[in-house]
């Protein structure tokens, strides 16, 4: 779905549940092809096809900007590096250690606290979950800070919105006015709502971050699990 002259939303089905889609954003200019978030492991072919449908080639990716550390946002990065060897991966300075393995991922740490008191089958699932995060670990080539504007694709402003995870960011596409929100915001009945409480580390902080998001002038908003909400007038 094309959102602006140089912005498309790729609604990519999840391989283990085709009815469930992830709304990944692609943007471009004459010199750059940028992916915002990278899906679960195993979605690389679906992402490649979605990129092809916009008239671009996955091999030409120059940047992957990660909103945060969750598996459905980082799972494909290592596979994408193989087909796009010049791609650079960017994340907020507070989130990078969780993605490259210097820190234990937030959701893994929460799961490991339950390990010893869980039934054997649940222990096995927790260990497999932790293993998937280990396999998804990847180098961060550039660490971002709040307020930074990347001088590509008409300008991409980095906005730190902690709560869902410590270093979660949203990205304001300066040229089109579209806000790419990852999991920091959702859409319900045509309204912007906060992050999912079940999956959010600090909901109070997440709601404060939602107000920060709403303070920006936006032409539209992309929620990773909710799709696109356009604003008129």
Classify residue 129: in a domain, yes or no.
Answer: no
Q: What digits encode the pLDDT tens for the residues 16-55?
A: 877 789 999 999 999 999 999 999 999 999 999 999 999 9
Q: Are 76 and 111 in contact (CB under 8 A)?
A: no
Summarize the confidence of residues 44-69 as an average pLDDT. Answer: 97
Establish how many alpha carbons lie within 13 A of residue 231's alpha carbon, considering only the half-sphere containing its beta carbon.
16
pLDDT at 17 (0 to 100): 78
Percent of the chain predicted with pLDDT > 70: 99
pLDDT at 26 (0 to 100): 98
By DSSP bridging, strand 17-28 and strand 33-36 are antiparallel
Classify residue 154: in a domain, yes or no.
Answer: yes
Q: Is residue 117 packed enough to be buried (19+ CB in 10 Å), middle (13-18) or exposed (0-12)?
A: exposed
Q: What digits encode the pLDDT tens for the residues 165-213?
A: 999 999 999 999 999 999 999 999 888 999 998 888 999 999 999 999 9
Classify residue 88: in a domain, yes or no.
Answer: yes
- Which residues are paired to 92 by β-bridges? 144
Q: By residue range, what is the domain housing residue 176?
A: 2-101+137-230
Residue 188: give its domain's CATH number: 3.60.15.10
How far apart, in Å, are the Cα atoms of 140 and each of 64, 78, 84?
10, 11, 15
- Which residues are paired to 12 by β-bridges? 22
Q: What digits encode the pLDDT tens for the residues 200-222?
A: 899 999 999 999 999 999 999 99
233, pLDDT greater than 80: no
Structure tokens at 55: 């008239």
d(C-alpha 178, C-alpha 197), whole Å: 24
pLDDT at 20 (0 to 100): 87
Summarize the confidence of residues 135-147 as an average pLDDT. Answer: 97
Distance, first Cα to last Cα, the chain:
21
Classify residue 112: in a domain, yes or no.
Answer: no
Nearest-Å Rg of the Cα atoms of the chain is: 17
Nearest to 8 by CA among 181, 189, 176: 176
Classify residue 25: in a domain, yes or no.
Answer: yes
**Structural domains of the chain, count:** 1
pLDDT at 232 (0 to 100): 64
Q: Are 182 and 169 in contact (CB under 8 A)?
A: yes
Structure tokens at 95: 């989130």
d(C-alpha 139, C-alpha 215), whole Å: 32
pLDDT at 15 (0 to 100): 78
Q: What is the pTM (predicted TM-score) of this model?
A: 0.95
Nearest to 223 by CA among 24, 49, 48, 89: 24
By DSSP bridging, strand 178-180 and strand 186-188 are unpaired
Classify residue 119: in a domain, yes or no.
Answer: no
Classify residue 220: in a domain, yes or no.
Answer: yes
Classify residue 19: in a domain, yes or no.
Answer: yes
- How many residues are there in the chain? 233
- Note the helical H segments in the chain: 44-52, 71-74, 77-83, 96-100, 106-112, 120-136, 203-214
User: Quick one: which H or E segment has residue 210?
Assistant: helix 203-214
On average, the pLDDT of the chain sits at: 94
């Amino acid at each position: 779905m094309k959102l602006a002259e140089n912005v498309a939303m790729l609604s990519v089905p999840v391989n283990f549940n085709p009815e469930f889609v992830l709304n990944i954003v692609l943007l471009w200019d004459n010199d750059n092809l940028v992916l915002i978030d990278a899906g679960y492991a195993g979605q690389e072919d679906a992402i490649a096809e979605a990129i092809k449908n916009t008239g671009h080639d996955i091999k030409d990716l120059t940047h992957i900007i990660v909103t945060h550390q969750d598996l459905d946002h980082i799972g494909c990065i290592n596979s994408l590096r193989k087909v796009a060897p010049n791609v650079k991966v960017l994340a907020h300075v507070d989130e990078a250690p969780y993605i490259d393995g210097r820190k234990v991922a937030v959701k893994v740490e929460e799961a490991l606290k339950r390990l010893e008191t869980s039934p054997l089958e649940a222990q096995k699932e927790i260990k497999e979950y932790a293993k998937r995060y280990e396999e998804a670990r990847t180098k961060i080539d550039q660490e971002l800070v709040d307020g930074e504007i990347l001088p590509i694709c008409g300008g991409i402003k980095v906005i730190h919105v902690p709560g869902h995870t410590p270093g979660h960011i949203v990205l304001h596409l300066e040229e089109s006015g579209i806000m790419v929100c990852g999991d920091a915001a959702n859409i319900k009945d045509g309204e912007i709502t906060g992050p999912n409480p079940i999956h959010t580390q600090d909901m109070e902080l997440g709601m404060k971050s939602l107000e920060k998001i709403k303070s920006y002038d936006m032409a539209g908003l992309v929620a990773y699990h909710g799709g696109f909400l356009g604003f008129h007038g």
